[in-house]
């Protein structure tokens, strides 16, 4: 029976285990903790929305804009953008980045580390945007809050950066799961939209986090689905050509939405012109069609149950799409997933009504097309077909909708990408072209931290040493000598210990060379051998960070700095290009077996 000591459960050992690619049990523990924390934060965020709605919304319902007078609901967007303009845009530019795009940016370029100020801003901006009558969802703020809180947990524990990436995915999945009561869709969304990869080491902790997020939310709000769906089915397969047409229309709408939200002409306006324009267009639309305000889940439920007029459906399809896109283009940080679902549901319901007028005998219920429109629009805008299908299944609890849903989602995604030239909304918002998270090599290197491959056998030494000092250094059998320089502006140098040992042997045993005297100092910069210029890298860094740092041709290696206070820092290891290449280069074990047989023969 295995015996455990207290040293097996220390935080330092936990960090070392997380640095490796096979730290699955440790990551699962983090997933459980992250899901619990994120689920609690999502409950608090939803309670804040409910508390704010109690101040002026009828019955405290944050979606009841239709019950307000036209002038009140038209004036709310001006109050919302004024608060955002005064309180948010007076801060520095980096503090204004919020939402899912910010999460992907921090994961891509900052190893999943989030600024605290942005996280605090997200709380009140998310509440103000939704309760202020803007066309905004709560999912973007929820994902930012959950991902940043989970990553912050890892930062507080000083965990390696490869585990921070998984924590970001855990927080994202738990946020989606707790917001919609859709644990599977939360997992797929985190992997497909945020992480942009599918790996076993990420899947299992993310699944646990999503489960815990949903569990915490269910303890407060119950286990009811987000929407109550009537018992409907596609019926005749003659509807499938009409489903294809729906996918084409949704794909064009999704492409138009992305292009409109990236409109350079709007983004070049002065700040108050952009914010004023957002308030004006939202206020005018709300005066006539209050359904375009807020998240719009009440409108989705009504569309699924055929309770909306054609006029309202047209407004939700066209006006809400334009208002939401121009709000994004105007620089107001809002969540777009909720409004996208509303636009898709309205578009699908209109398609179903039109199909019923053309061929009443075979046409399916408009509610079926509303469900398909939701999934198709979400998949096309995000370029995340699997996440859209899982959301469709969990939101509707209708397994029979999956077959036509697959067709509609694929057609919409292809149309948006090929005919309108749009990538996923959040990929476009970070960088055009191939996104760094989509590069297989960088994905593989990001899963491991430098302690997993660094060389730990090293000694630090000054440049000038005596022969006795050299022998004492070599007694510990180091692989590397780290030569410290006289000034901080000079880079540290790495020298293989074997080079010093060879030089010592040659001068001690050579009959033609004078032996090194005890008083003579050895200059480690003068003895034969290759010296590598080195730069520091943090112990928490991933191999992808080390790989990018070593792209500088002047650097031959990196020394790994351990410690969190300047006077207590020490060098824990050295990592070279060769060590990184040995990690990701595949060697067929059969080659080594055949080589061994040949040598033995």
CA nearest neighbour of 128 among 174, 179, 86, 69: 86
Winning range, highest mean pLDDT, from 71-80, 428-437, 547-556:
71-80
| Superfamily of structural domain 449-584 | CBS-domain (3.10.580.10)
- SS3 state at 206: helix
Return the pLDDT at 536: 85
Return the pLDDT at 601: 47
182: left (phi over 0), alpha (psi -120 to 50) or beta: beta
- SS3 state at 394: helix
First to last CA, the chain: 42
Task: Find the Cα–Cα–Cα–Cα dihedral 539, 540, 543, 544, rounded to 10°.
Answer: -130
The residue with greater pLDDT, 487 or 512, is 487
Percentage of the residues of the chain whose pLDDT score is greater than 70: 87
pLDDT at 345 over 50: yes
Q: Could you give the count of Cα atoms lying within 13 Å of 40 in the half-sphere of its Cβ?
A: 7
In this chain, the answer to whether the domains covering 237-436 and 449-584 adopt an identical fold is no
Q: Could you give the count of Cα atoms lying within 13 Å of 320 in the half-sphere of its Cβ?
A: 34
CA nearest neighbour of 168 among 209, 118, 213, 215: 209
Distance CA 411, CA 167 (A): 33
- SS3 state at 90: coil
Domain boundaries, the chain: 16-221, 237-436, 449-584
Name the pTM for this structure: 0.85
Give Cα 564 distance to the centre of its chain. Answer: 27
CA nearest neighbour of 133 among 59, 74, 49: 74
- 490-519 pLDDT, tens digit per residue, is 777 888 888 888 888 877 665 554 545 555
Return the pLDDT at 517: 54
Distance CA 200, CA 166 (A): 11
Return the pLDDT at 579: 83
Q: Quick one: pLDDT band at residue 570, thresholds 50, 70, 90?
A: confident
Mean pLDDT of the chain: 84
DSSP state of 193: I
492: left (phi over 0), alpha (psi -120 to 50) or beta: beta
pLDDT at 57 over 60: yes
Return the pLDDT at 296: 86
What CATH number is given for 16-221 in this structure?
Answer: 1.10.3080.10
**Secondary element (H or E) of residue 339:** helix 337-358
- SS3 state at 106: helix
Q: What is the DSSP string of 502-522?
A: HHHHHHHH-SSSPPPPTTPPE
- 381-436 pLDDT, tens digit per residue, is 998 999 999 988 888 777 778 889 999 999 999 999 989 888 888 875 544 444 55
Looking at CATH, the fold of the domain delimited by 237-436 is given as Clc chloride channel (1.10.3080)
């Amino acid at each position: 029976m295995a015996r455990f000591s207290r040293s097996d459960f220390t935080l330092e050992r936990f960090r070392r285990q997380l640095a490796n690619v096979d730290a699955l049990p440790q990551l699962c523990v983090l997933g459980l903790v992250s899901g619990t924390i994120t689920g609690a934060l999502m409950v608090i965020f939803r309670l804040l929305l409910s508390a704010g709605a109690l101040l002026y919304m009828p019955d405290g319902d944050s979606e009841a804009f239709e019950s307000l007078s036209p002038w009140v609901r038209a004036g709310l967007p001006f109050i919302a953008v004024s608060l955002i303009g005064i309180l948010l845009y007076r801060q520095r530019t980096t503090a204004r980045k919020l939402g899912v795009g910010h999460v992907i940016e921090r994961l891509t370029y900052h190893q999943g580390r989030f600024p605290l100020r942005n996280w605090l801003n997200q709380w009140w901006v998310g509440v103000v945007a939704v309760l202020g009558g803007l066309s905004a969802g709560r999912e973007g703020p929820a994902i930012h809050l959950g991902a940043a809180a989970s990553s912050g947990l890892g930062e507080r524990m000083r965990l390696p950066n490869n585990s921070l990436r998984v924590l970001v995915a855990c927080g994202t999945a738990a946020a989606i799961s707790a917001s919609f009561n859709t644990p599977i869709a939360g997992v797929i969304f985190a992997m497909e939209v945020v992480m942009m990869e599918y790996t076993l080491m990420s899947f299992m902790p993310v699944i646990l986090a999503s489960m815990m997020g949903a569990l915490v939310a269910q303890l407060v709000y119950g286990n009811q689905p987000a929407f109550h769906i009537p018992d409907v089915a596609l019926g005749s397969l003659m509807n499938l050509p009409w489903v294809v047409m729906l996918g084409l229309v949704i794909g064009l709408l999704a492409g138009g939405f992305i292009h409109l939200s990236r409109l350079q002409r709007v983004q070049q306006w002065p700040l108050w012109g952009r914010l004023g324009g957002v308030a004006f267009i939202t206020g005018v639309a709300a005066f006539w069609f209050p359904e375009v305000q807020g998240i719009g889940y009440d409108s989705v439920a009504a569309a699924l149950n055929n309770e909306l007029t054609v006029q309202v459906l047209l407004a939700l399809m066209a006006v809400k799409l334009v208002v939401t896109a121009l709000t994004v283009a105007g620089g107001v940080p809002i969540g777009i997933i909720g409004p996208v679902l509303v636009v898709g549901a309205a578009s699908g319901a209109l398609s179903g009504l039109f199909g019923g007028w053309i061929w009443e005998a075979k046409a399916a219920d408009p509610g079926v097309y509303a469900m398909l429109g939701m999934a198709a629009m979400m998949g096309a805008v995000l370029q995340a077909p699997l996440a859209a299908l899982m959301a469709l299944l969990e939101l509707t609890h209708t397994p029979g909708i999956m077959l036509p849903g697959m067709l509609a989602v694929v057609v919409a995604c292809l149309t948006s990408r090929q005919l309108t030239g749009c990538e996923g909304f959040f990929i476009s918002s970070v960088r055009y072209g191939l996104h760094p998270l989509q590069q297989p090599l960088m994905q593989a290197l990001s899963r491991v931290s430098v302690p997993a491959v660094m060389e730990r056998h090293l000694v630090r030494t000054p440049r000038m040493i005596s022969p006795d000092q050299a022998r004492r250094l070599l007694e510990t059998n180091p692989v590397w000598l780290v030569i410290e320089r006289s000034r901080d502006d000079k880079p540290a140098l790495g020298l293989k210990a074997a080079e010093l040992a060879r030089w010592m042997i040659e001068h001690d045993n050579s009959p033609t060379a004078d032996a090194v005297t005890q008083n003579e100092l050895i200059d480690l910069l003068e003895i034969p051998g290759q010296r590598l210029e080195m730069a520091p890298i943090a112990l928490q860094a991933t191999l992808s960070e080390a790989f990018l740092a070593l792209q500088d041709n002047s650097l031959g290696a990196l020394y790994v700095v351990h410690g969190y206070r300047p006077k207590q820092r020490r060098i824990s290891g050295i990592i070279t290009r060769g060590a990184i290449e040995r990690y990701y280069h595949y060697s067929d074990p059969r080659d080594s077996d055949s080589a061994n047989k040949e040598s033995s023969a």
